[in-house]
Amino acid sequence: MWHQVTSAFASTHQQVLFDYVGSGTSLKSAFDESRYSTLGGYVQDVLDVCDELELHSRVTFIGHSVSCSIGLLASLARPELFERMILLGPSPCFANHADYFGGFELGQLEGLLLMMKSNYLGWAEYLAEMLVHVQEPESSQLRDSFCASDPEMTRTFAQACFLSDDRAILSKVTPPCLILQHRNDCLAPLSVGDFCHAQLQGSKLQILDVAGHCAHLSHPDLVIAAIREYISLPLAT
How far apart CA 143 and CA 122 sit, in angstroms, is 10
pLDDT at 2: 92
How far apart CA 20 and CA 48 sit, in angstroms, is 12
Query: Which CATH number is 3-12+31-103+165-231's, of 3.20.20.70, 3.30.390.30, 3.40.50.1820, 3.40.50.150?
Result: 3.40.50.1820
Given 45, 65, 216, 219, the catalytic residue: 65
Strands (E), 44-90: 59-64, 82-88
166 flagged as catalytic: no
Taking alpha carbons only, the member of 234, 174, 207, 3 closest to residue 88 is: 207
Decide: 11 and 227 in contact? Cβ < 8 Å.
no
pLDDT at 80: 96
Q: How far is CA 108 from the centre of its chain?
A: 20
Residues 190-201 have pLDDT tens digits of: 999 999 999 999
Decide: 26 and 17 in contact? Cβ < 8 Å.
no
Decide: 36 and 152 in contact? Cβ < 8 Å.
no
pLDDT at 90: 97
pLDDT confidence band for 154 (50 / 70 / 90): confident
Q: How many helices (H) and strands (E) does the chain have?
A: 10, 4
pLDDT confidence band for 158 (50 / 70 / 90): confident
Task: Map 12-24 to HEC letters.
Answer: CCCCCCCCCCCCC
Is pLDDT larger for residue 117 or for residue 225? 225
pLDDT at 140: 58
Taking alpha carbons only, the member of 167, 164, 163 closest to residue 99 is: 167
> Domains of the chain: which residue ranges?
3-12+31-103+165-231
In this predicted structure, the answer to whether residue 150 has a pLDDT above a threshold of 80 is: no
Is pLDDT larger for residue 127 or for residue 172? 172
Contacts of 195 (CB under 8 A, 6+ apart): 92, 100, 167
Contacts of 200 (CB under 8 A, 6+ apart): 170, 171, 173, 177, 179
pTM of the model: 0.89
In this predicted structure, the answer to whether residue 138 has a pLDDT above a threshold of 90 is: no
45 flagged as catalytic: no
Residues 100-119 have pLDDT tens digits of: 999 999 998 998 888 878 87
pLDDT confidence band for 132 (50 / 70 / 90): confident
Contacts of 224 (CB under 8 A, 6+ apart): 5, 8, 9
213 flagged as catalytic: yes
Given 64, 133, 182, 213, the catalytic residue: 213
The per-residue pLDDT of the chain, averaged, comes to 89
Given 45, 64, 166, 185, the catalytic residue: 185
Decide: 230 and 84 in contact? Cβ < 8 Å.
yes
